[in-house]
Amino acid sequence: MGTNWKESAESAKFRSNIYGLLATVFRKEPSEALIKELRDPRLAGVFQDLGVDLGEVLKDIPEHEVVETLSIEFTRLFIGPKDHISAHESIFTQLDGGMSALWGTTTVAVKSFIETAGLDYKQEFTGIPDHISVELEFMHKLAQWEAEKWEQKESKSAEYCQSIQRMFLEQHLSCWLPRFCEEVMDKTSVPFYRNMAELTRNFMRFEQQSTAH
Amino acid sequence: MSESKTLDISRRAFLSGAGAAAVGAATLVTPGVSQAATSDVPRWGMVMDLRRCIGCRACTVACKSENDVSLGRFRAVITEKTTGTFPNTKKTFLPLMCNHCEGNKKDGVPPCVKACPEYPGKRAKFTTPDGQKITYRTGATYKRPDGLILIDKEKCIGCGKCIDACPYGVRSFDPFVKAGGDPTKQAADKCDMCAHRVDNGLEPSCVNTCQGRARIFGDLNNPNSEISKLVKKHNLAQDANVLLPDKGTDPHVYYIDPDNLLHAIYTERKKKKLDHFVDQIT
Amino acid sequence: MKQFNRRDFVKLAAATGTVMVTGLSTSQNALAGDVRLQEGGRDFSPITKKERVAIPTTCWQCVTRDSMIGYVEDGRVVKLEGHPDSIRTLGKLCAKGQAGINHVYFPDRILYPMQRVGKRGEGKWKRISWDDALDLMASKMKPLLDNGTPELFMYQYGRHKGSQSSIMHDFMDAFGSQTIGTHTSVCEGPKWVGQESLWGGMYDNWDYDHTDFVVNFGSNQFETHTNHIPTSQRLIRAMVDRNVPLYTFDVRLSNTAAKSTEWVPINVGMDGLVMLSMVNVIMNEGLFRRDHLQYMRVSPDYHATDDEKIDAIKQHVAKFTPEFASEKSGVPADKIRMIARGYAKANAACLIGYRGTVMHYHGADQERAAMLLSAITNNLDRKGGRVMGVGASWKHPSSPKAKLQKGLDITNGFPGEAAFPTHQCSQQNLPMIKDGRNGRPQVYWSSCNNQAFINGNNNEAEAILADEKLIPFYVNTNIVYDESSQYADLILPDVTYLERWDYEDMVSPTGVGEYSIRQPLIKPLGEARDQGEVFYGLAQRLGIELAYKTKEEYVRKSCEMTPGVKEAGGFEYMKKHGVWHDKKAKPNYGFYEAKVDVSGDGVILDKKTGVYWDYKKAGVSKTEAESKGYLGVEGAKKAYVAQNINGTPRLAYPPNTSFTKSGLLDFYSDNFAAKGFPAFPTYTPIPEHQKMDKDDLHLTTYKVAVHTHSRTAHCKWLSEIKHDNPAWINSKTAAARGIKDGDSIKVKSDIGEITTTAHVTEGIIPGIIAISHHFGRKHSGIYGSGKKSPTTVTASSDPDAKNMWWDKHGTHPNSIIPNSSDPISGGQRWMDTVVKVSKA
């Protein structure tokens, strides 16, 4: 079997990019810089082609106003103080026993998985280890590393990295992310978050299909 | 945040069953409360001193916490009942849990174990404190040689027969644990006398937290244990001091009950119903 | 949106890569370091072996603050148990304590600062950073400093004790505002005021380990007590092991009444009268002990002989015969005699009381009657009796105080409302703000205090918090969204007590003080931050100097400067052991007998009162001291040295509270007389009760074993056991109104009406209705209120939320209880409300 190094590297890089994008979207409230980037015709055009409605982001209003609107929705959806969707795997997982929802045993498993891969949680990160954005960022980093290995023609390492990504998808992301996304789609009327959630769900489906062998 | 540290648990603390923390290190220390003085296999049991139960529910919550018991069911409860007419009104607290029955005289198999389709299963070995090995039959529900009635959730097929068979209604399905033998169903669950603690020399969690010292746990085979002395002193090994003696289950939870409250306020569960095994304060 | 294919994602990825080159690896990342993967290297399989770490710390569910051990696995708190080395708790922890974990990991917990963005109360929020939150607060507070009006910053707290309290006061002193609201007057204020008027700043406890007889008025000792675990376990042990009788006077068959030797039903507000009739029996039957008379003042005369005192007491209580008391209280006269005799004859006896006795009109005077019963039987600070509670005496770092110290007079009730509000009149804090006559704070910051739930007339409290004209800027520090935080302009995420540092000082029932610390079991979740650190963040922005940066530093310094703790090994010792007490210390029974050296320069004997005092310390000349006398010199009580007890200078009962008095127990109180209150404990009818219609009922409230007043509704294990609060009503009272058990009923007072459910029972006296006050939450997470959960309709919240089987959340009685105060102490009169009850 001949390996197409370049194609494999590209593919991994693309996946890494998508994970990175989604991690950025769900990490916290958007920054003006992010809005600017999303408004870049090169990106905005693709979103449009794909039928992803970015809502306020593309409206003719100043960036800081977009940020304000989306920040309020982000808080309402994911932070509280009232009914919100806690964006953490252990909240959604069913394996957690009657024990705590927040920072449950699943959180420990996620943290341990990520640390086993050589990564550390930054001191300044104040979230909880199984936050959606951390899991997405983790995949972003793994795919990035995979791409590097393909470029260095280290197929064994690259394939091993693929298997680790598959494992993380199966054990973690795919167990809850689709349900989380559907919950968000159901609970928000702000196009940006509804569409980002749908995009994420669709990407999960794609990932599950393309990594399943 | 503080540095991770291991508490210097003194022997005294340890003997009083102070710390589940000691679980890891427990085998290194002489087990305290759980130690059988003789080479005999222990026979664990519980005495409930109704004079001392003040209905505070620390046991109920300690059990929830120790065993991650989901909402909607309990492994241990306090039931309370108000009787009499004003101003001569009384209110009684009755702690309930699995009776860890010996089973009827004929075959020594409690009804829950008998009802389990997975019993008798493979043989297993139980090691006594002095290293003797005793063979016993496992099942999804089974009796260990030390008298504890345990559930092997891996073997459980979620049929619910043990739940129906227990005359005390202490069993329920665990909504969080699938039956290993049939993952489409939920596994049965109930009080296991905190076997994970007992096996490491600690008192059950409900005993550890009981401020009235109404719960006394120990080895009934050891004549010098506190529980044995209490059983002797109060003559507890008789029908009047256990629940539903006529069922022939030979319960090993005994009640010190000088006011004869037990049989006045305890009623047998209604068939198929578990609603009397719910802890509620009126 | 369509289903994406591979090509779609490639397009998106490419564009993302082009546009967001920097965006994908910004400083927002959570993860640091490089991926290190090597085939066959690390094991990614789930962890099976867990490391369990035990950390000693201190509970904070209620004011008892039991020492405990927290067990942590993989950074998660998994279990809390009592601390076996604690001389207070003896290794026990109550139901609430066991459920403490529920505070950390409940799905509705507030984890980030949030700023209101819609109208106040509209419920629209934006998460902001701590820096922005502190900047915002500082921007509101700085002008107050600049304008010389620090008092316009108000701090309203509920449960702050130990270092939480001292660090808060330190910050407030550094800022210069003394506008500080507490909550004691809705709790047990009248009890302390009654005691302070007598034996000084004491905190009574009961020596159950050595007592022979216990009489309880209105204290639910076995369910909820201010020093619950340390005392209740000792009481039940005394009862079973030593056959100590316990007689409980209560309107309701509480668990305490149920476990008593006998429940003695008593009509509402009659505790003091029955106590006085017990005094009557004891005096007239000669069952009193003369020992303590020399420390008592029972008439204006400071120098009365014992016989004169006996006569005076007899005279005071002459009309309170058991028959008189019986008629009003419903307690048979013979029962009063029997209990009085048993109590007086016992070698050592405890007279205990709490909310049921004191949260009334003249509640403080009822407590004085309880002290009188203790004194005439020589059970005050005697082995086996009502003793002085001994706590820990911590030292702590102090920051420079602001030169300008001011406070708004809005925490002591309306003018003339309370004569001695030494524990404030906090139920009126918000109404005072509404009233405005004594000013209004510009910045109102509440912490661990749910004003809109805990006070009487809570609907009014809510309306005041909702009004921006009355409270321009409201900051709420909390772990859960509640009735008050819904109106905040800024919500700050508090740490739970399992995530913070503190030293603690709650009294010990053994007469030997115990020092304990609280240390974090885990890192605070999210961005939850200890108030101590919030103070520091503010101080930096306000240009205020504090003596510490973090709470940990504050507690560490306190450990290093506190005698005893310091020598034992200070902070490191406390971190390792959690508790410390002086192994050589013995209970100091009869502290008042201590002989005092009065030979010091400046110490003179005041002829009128028999007080030895140091006129130099009082800052006056000898001439002035002698001409004005001890009582005539302002502040002389601070120079108190001793009391002349039959010729011997003894410590007696130093006047260490706001009451100016001699060293005698002021059963005859000039302080009270001067304000028009009974100088000697008496029976004062409750005004509302004198004009009741025939079908009117009394409304009383109570607590149950598994909840604190307002801080535990979101604890699922507790709310599972108790989440509803049907109104207790006697079968006769119910029948007269056609009410059956489970019926929906209306309860109407002068200020409102609630609809609740009837619990028809034989466990309550006829003529009253009793409703516990924990429930009827508008907010408090899904377990507390059934709403405002993360996701109420789908499976995606706390997995256990699906198993939540109860849908009743009770009815809050406070909305029909007016804020009205004991005119002596300012205590909220929870038990005096008159209602009409009918079938709904």
Q: Are residues C214 and C156 in the same domain?
A: no
Q: Are residues C547 and C696 in the same domain?
A: no
Q: Are residues C348 and C413 in the same domain?
A: no
Report the distance separating Cα C110 and Cα C106, nearest Å: 10
Cβ(B56)–Cβ(C93) below 8 Å: no
Mean pLDDT across C601-617: 96
8 Å CB contact of C33 and A119: yes
The continuous run of DSSP H or E covering C355 comes out as: helix C355-358
> The CATH number of the domain where C325 resides is what?
3.40.228.10
Region for residue C822 given its phi and psi (left: phi exceeds 0; alpha: psi -120 to 50; beta: otherwise): beta
8 Å CB contact of C11 and A79: no
A143–chain C nearest CA distance, Å: 10
Q: How many CA atoms lie within 13 A of C375 on its CB side?
A: 27
Give the pLDDT of residue C794.
Answer: 37
The phi and psi torsions of C385 (rounded to 5 degrees) equal: -120, -155
Span of B260-274, C603-617, C697-711 with lowest mean pLDDT: B260-274
Measured at the CA of C346, the angle between CA C342 and CA C350, to 5 degrees, comes to 90
Q: How many domains does chain C have?
A: 4
Region for residue C594 given its phi and psi (left: phi exceeds 0; alpha: psi -120 to 50; beta: otherwise): beta
In total, chain B counts a number of residues equal to: 282
Q: Are residues C235 and C326 in the same domain?
A: yes
Answer with the residue of higher pLDDT: C269 or B10. Answer: C269
Residues 6+ apart with CB under 8 A from C505: C161, C162, C391, C392, C393, C394, C513, C515
Query: pLDDT class for C795, splitting at 50, 70, 90?
Result: very low
Residue C679's identity, in one-letter code, is A
Chain A contact present for B68, CB below 8 A:
yes
Instruction: Name the average pLDDT for chain C.
Output: 94
Instruction: Give the whole-number percent of chain A exceeding pLDDT 90.
Output: 74
Report yes or no on A101 lying in a domain: yes
Q: Are residues C657 and C691 in the same domain?
A: no
CA distances from C736 to C282, C641, C698, C739, C833 (A): 39, 61, 15, 8, 20
N-to-C CA span, chain C: 53
CA distances from C621 to B67, B276, C27, C629, C660 (A): 71, 77, 70, 11, 20
Report yes or no on C650 lying in a domain: yes
Closest to C718 measured CA to CA, from B215, B244, B65: B65
Neighbours of B173 (CB within 10 A): 20
Report the distance separating Cα C108 and Cα A86, nearest Å: 9
Give the pLDDT of residue B37.
Answer: 45
The continuous run of DSSP H or E covering B45 comes out as: strand B44-49
**Sheet strands (E) in C262-369:** 262-265, 296-297, 349-353
Cβ(A110)–Cβ(A172) below 8 Å: yes
Cβ(C458)–Cβ(C429) below 8 Å: no
Region for residue C598 given its phi and psi (left: phi exceeds 0; alpha: psi -120 to 50; beta: otherwise): alpha
Q: In what order do the strands lie in the sheet with B44-49?
A: B215-219, B44-49, B253-256
Chains touching chain A, criterion 3+ CB pairs below 8 Å: B, C
Chain C contact present for B84, CB below 8 A:
yes
C81–chain B nearest CA distance, Å: 7
Is the pLDDT assigned to residue A168 strictly greater than 90?
A: yes
Give the pLDDT of residue A212.
Answer: 63
Q: Please report residues of B whose CB lies closer than 8 A to that of A96.
A: 176
Q: Please report residues of B whose CB lies closer than 8 A to that of C267.
A: none
Closest to C768 measured CA to CA, from C751, C741, C750, C747: C747
CB-nearest partner of B57 from C52, C81, C706: C706
Question: For chain C, how big is the Rg over CA atoms in Å?
Answer: 29
Give the pLDDT of residue C49.
Answer: 57
Report yes or no on A73 lying in a domain: no
8 Å CB contact of C126 and A72: yes
Chain A contact present for B1, CB below 8 A:
no
The continuous run of DSSP H or E covering B61 comes out as: helix B58-67
Report the distance separating Cα C470 and Cα B75, nearest Å: 51
Report the distance separating Cα C518 and Cα C536, nearest Å: 20
Report yes or no on C623 lying in a domain: yes
Q: Are residues C726 and C655 in the same domain?
A: no
Q: Are residues C438 and C528 in the same domain?
A: yes
Report yes or no on C658 lying in a domain: yes
Q: What are the tens digits of pLDDT across the range A111-145?
A: 999 999 999 999 889 899 999 999 999 999 999 99
Is the pLDDT assigned to residue C27 strictly greater than 70?
A: no
Q: Token pair for residue C115?
A: 């700023």
Mean pLDDT across A91-107: 69
Q: Token pair for residue C527?
A: 């961005």
Instruction: Give the whole-number percent of chain C exceeding pLDDT 90.
Output: 88
Q: Which residues of chain B have pLDDT under 50?
A: 1-38
Closest to C201 measured CA to CA, from C352, C365, C391: C391
Q: Token pair for residue C810?
A: 């009770």
> The CATH number of the domain where C466 resides is what?
3.40.50.740
Span of B54-63, C779-788, C828-837 with lowest mean pLDDT: C779-788
The continuous run of DSSP H or E covering C146 comes out as: helix C130-146
Report yes or no on A199 lying in a domain: yes
A20 lies in which domain range? 5-28+87-211
Residues 6+ apart with CB under 8 A from B25: none
Mean pLDDT across C331-344: 98
Mean pLDDT across C784-799: 53
CA distances from A50 to A25, A43, C19 (A): 18, 11, 17
Q: Token pair for residue C98?
A: 């066991």
> The CATH number of the domain where C767 resides is what?
2.40.40.20
Q: Burial letters for B95-125: b for 16+ Cβ neighbours within 10 Å, e otherwise?
A: bbbbbbbbbeeeeebbbbbbbbebbeeeeee
Give the pLDDT of residue B265.
Answer: 87
Q: How many CA atoms lie within 13 A of C529 on its CB side?
A: 23
Report the distance separating Cα C429 and Cα C414, nearest Å: 9
Of B122-131, C2-11, C699-708, which one has max mean pLDDT?
Answer: C699-708
Check residue B151 and report its DSSP letter.
E
Mutate to test the interface with C, among A57, A65, A68, A116 (most CBs of C within 10 A): A116
Strands C603-606 and C611-614: antiparallel
Residue C718's identity, in one-letter code, is L
CB contacts under 8 A, A 76-115 vs B, are 94-99
Q: Token pair for residue C779?
A: 């907010």
CB contacts under 8 A, A 65-104 vs C, are 68, 71-72, 74-76, 79-86, 91-94, 96-104
Cβ(A194)–Cβ(A201) below 8 Å: no
Cβ(C292)–Cβ(C380) below 8 Å: yes
Closest to C342 measured CA to CA, from C247, C206, C273: C247
Q: Burial letters for C260-269: b for 16+ Cβ neighbours within 10 Å, e otherwise?
A: bbebbbbbbb
Q: Are residues C472 and C597 in the same domain?
A: no
**What is the CATH code of the structural domain delimited by B31-265?**
3.30.70.20
Residue C219's identity, in one-letter code, is S
- Name the residue ranges covered by the structural domains of chain B: 31-265
Closest to A87 measured CA to CA, from A70, A101, A68: A101
CB contacts under 8 A, C 472-531 vs A, are 481, 485, 491, 525-527
Measured at the CA of C407, the angle between CA C149 and CA C543, to 5 degrees, comes to 50
Mutate to test the interface with B, among C98, C329, C498, C521 (most CBs of B within 10 A): C98
Give the pLDDT of residue C17.
Answer: 85
In total, chain C counts a number of residues equal to: 840
Q: Are residues C623 and C743 in the same domain?
A: no
Q: Please report residues of B whose CB lies closer than 8 A to that of A98.
A: 64, 68-71, 176
Q: What are the tens digits of pLDDT across the range B110-128?
A: 999 999 999 999 999 998 8
C768 lies in which domain range? 687-839
Report the distance separating Cα C633 and Cα C626, nearest Å: 10
Report the distance separating Cα A13 and Cα A11, nearest Å: 5
> The CATH number of the domain where A108 resides is what?
1.10.3480.10
C762–chain B nearest CA distance, Å: 5
Place of tokens 């003042």: C297
Q: How far is CA C831 from the centre of its chain?
A: 18
Residue B46 three-state SS? strand
Q: Are residues C184 and C252 in the same domain?
A: no
Q: Are residues C175 and C302 in the same domain?
A: no
A121–chain C nearest CA distance, Å: 5
Closest to C431 measured CA to CA, from C449, C452, C446: C452
Report the distance separating Cα C730 and Cα A68, nearest Å: 58
Give the pLDDT of residue B18.
Answer: 34
Q: Please report residues of B whose CB lies closer than 8 A to that of A105.
A: none
For chain A, give the secondary structure using H, E and C. CCCCHHHHHHHHHHHHHHHHHHHHHHHCCCCHHHHHHHHCHHHHHHHHHCCCCCHHHHCCCCHHHHHHHHHHHHHHHHHCCCCCCCCEHHHHCCCCCCCCCCCCHHHHHHHHHHHHCCCEECCCCCCCCCEHHHHHHHHHHHHHHHHHHHHCCCHHHHHHHHHHHHHHHHHHHHHHHHHHHHHHHHHCCCHHHHHHHHHHHHHHHHHHHHHCC
Measured at the CA of C349, the angle between CA C347 and CA C354, to 5 degrees, comes to 175
Query: pLDDT class for A213, splitting at 50, 70, 90?
Result: low
The continuous run of DSSP H or E covering C314 comes out as: helix C306-317
N-to-C CA span, chain A: 17
Closest to C629 measured CA to CA, from C647, C642, C612: C612
Q: How many domains does chain A have?
A: 1
